[in-house]
Amino acid sequence: TQLLEQSPQFLSIQEGENLTVYCNSSSVFSSLQWYRQEPGEGPVLLVTVVTGGEVKKLKRLTFQFGDARKDSSLHITAAQPGDTGLYLCAASGEYGNKLVFGAGTILRVKS
Amino acid sequence: GAVVSQHPSWVICKSGTSVKIECRSLDFQATTMFWYRQFPKQSLMLMATSNEGSKATYEQGVEKDKFLINHASLTLSTLTVTSAHPEDSSFYICSARDSGGASYNEQFFGPGTRLTVL
């Protein structure tokens, strides 16, 4: 069974601070996605990383896929209250179409 | 693009009744859709994989006679919670894979359905 460990589980920071969320596994994944979810809504896809060592930027968000495709990180620079939400990493293996989800990180950015 | 809708967005029903939830891919075709259940402040728990034109594949511990799934077209999957009980109250979310998209297993999620069973 492929497992995806996500940390931290909770994060409460002040506006303007930086933060990093990690997603780790002992398995190799063919692709990894990061989603953001607000209460009462479905997850929204932020990014997909496919290549080992890949770095993608989305405004103040930087996503990195590990060289071995076993881990990923999401870094937010100068967090804003609008970044508050549940962040989920999800990945799929070489032969499956199901996504394995991390436990999620609840981020709260205080103004 | 890649919009998925769900209906209803919330439903309240009496114990023992059945509830049907619809999941539609609005601007793409989806041979595969997924149904998840989510508890407050937790991650998504996959219930079943819905395959167009064939039987759904259920995850271990999910009762297929309790949660009926039908995927009759490339844009519609339905989840019916039969004889619902209070413990079935939850947030149900569907997702869909774009059959014509890149093979990165990206899933696009619906807005979810809040089910409350009294």
Sheet containing B19-25: which strands, arranged edge to edge? B4-7, B19-25, B76-81, B67-73
Burial status of residue A107 (CB atoms within 10 A of its CB: 0-12, 13-18, 19 or more): buried
Taking the CA of residue B105 and the nearest CA in chain A, the distance in Å comes to 6
State residue A82's pLDDT score.
Answer: 96
Nearest to B105 by CA among A75, A96, A77: A96
Provide the pLDDT confidence category of residue A95 given band limits of 50, 70 and 90. Answer: low
**Sign of the C-alpha dihedral computed for residues B30, A24, B57 and B112 taken in this order:** negative
Residues 6+ apart with CB under 8 A from B103: none
Kindly give, in sequence order, each residue whose CB lies less than 8 Å from that of residue A78, ignoring residues fewer than 6 positions away.
A16, A17, A18, A60
pLDDT tens across B26-69, in order?
988 888 999 999 998 899 999 999 988 889 999 999 999 999 99
Among B32, B42, B108, the residue with its CB nearest the CB of A97 is B32
Rg (CA), chain A: 13
Q: Between chains, do A33 and B107 touch, taking CB under 8 Å as contact?
A: yes
Selecting from B2, B91, B107 the residue whose C-beta is nearest the C-beta of A99 gives B107
Question: Which residues on chain B are in Cβ contact (under 8 Å) with A98?
Answer: 34, 46, 49
Per cent of chain B over pLDDT 70 is 96
- Stretch B85-96: mean pLDDT, rounded? 96
Q: Which two tokens stand for residue A44?
A: 């929204």
pLDDT of residue B70: 92
> Does B101 score more than 80 pLDDT?
no
State the average pLDDT over residues B77-101: 92
pLDDT of residue B44: 93
Q: What is the pLDDT of residue A74?
A: 98
* Structure tokens, B30: 């989806």
3-state secondary structure chain B: CCCEEEECCEEEECCCCCEEEEEEECCCCCCEEEEEEECCCCCEEEEEEEECCCCCEECCCCCCCCEEEEEEECCEEEEEECCCCHHHCEEEEEEECCCCCCCCCCCEECCCEEEEEC
Q: What mean pLDDT do residues A14-40 have?
A: 94
Neighbour tally for B20: CB within 10 Å: 14
Q: What is the pLDDT of residue B54?
A: 86
Q: Is the pLDDT of residue A63 over 60?
A: yes
Predicted pLDDT at B1: 65
Q: Decide if A63 touches B, using CB distance below 8 A.
A: no
User: What's the pLDDT at B103?
Assistant: 61
A36 neighbors A109 (Cβ within 8 angstroms): no
* Interchain contact, A97 vs B97, CB within 8 Å: yes
The reply to whether A42 touches chain B by the CB within 8 Å rule is yes
> Which residues of chain A make contact with B97, given a CB cutoff of 8 A?
97
Is residue A2 predicted with pLDDT exceeding 70? no
Determine the pLDDT at residue B34: 95
